[in-house]
Amino acid sequence: MARYAEPGALEWVESGGGPLIAVPETVLPFWAGADSEELDTDYDRACEVDGYVGLLPVGDSAALVLGDEPASTAYLPEHATFVRWSAGHSEGELLAQVPAALEAAVWEHEVHWRVPGPVVLFDSAWPGGEAGHQEHLRIPLDAGRYTVRAAYAQPAPETWFGLVQLRRLAH
């Protein structure tokens, strides 16, 4: 698999061409990815998500699908935001643009996501039980309800990226 994000300050997750998915750890074994006897696999369901984000039922919970394009993705805990690198000369240049992009973002799609705790971000084609053996990122979310909103930013002519921000809702 080609790497689009340069090694640097953050861990970046990439897919083989399909969407990335954040699945709660408690239901990872229930995500079958592209390995299923069903006519529509979990991976097929993830590919059908239209737009930047969507939710799919997994076990007794839901997974967050990062749709649109298979961009290299990192998580910035200080902003509770997934950053999806589409173009930019360097990781440092891209990350320097994030705070201003968050302030100026025109948020497009919003969903409400209930998570039981930490989630794992990985290529939706893989079964959840194998996520730890593939390229993945563990995000230590607290259990609760979150509003998830998405936007696309182009802060410079050759720098653009997606933003998927999680905002914890009060009980």
Question: Would you say residue 13 lies in a domain?
Answer: no
Question: Would you say residue 14 lies in a domain?
Answer: no
Question: Would you say residue 29 lies in a domain?
Answer: yes
Question: Would you say residue 6 lies in a domain?
Answer: no
Question: Would you say residue 5 lies in a domain?
Answer: no
Instruction: Give the chain's domain count.
Output: 1
> What does the pLDDT look like over 93-112, one tens digit per residue?
999 999 999 999 999 879 99
CB-based contact 64:55 (threshold 8 Å)? yes
Question: Would you say residue 3 lies in a domain?
Answer: no
> What does the pLDDT look like over 38-90, one tens digit per residue?
778 999 999 999 889 999 999 999 999 998 888 999 999 999 999 999 999 89
Write phi, then psi, for 24 (nearest 5 degrees).
Answer: -55, 135
Assigned token pair, 72: 């290299």
Structural domain of 43: 20-168
DSSP three-state, residue 68? coil
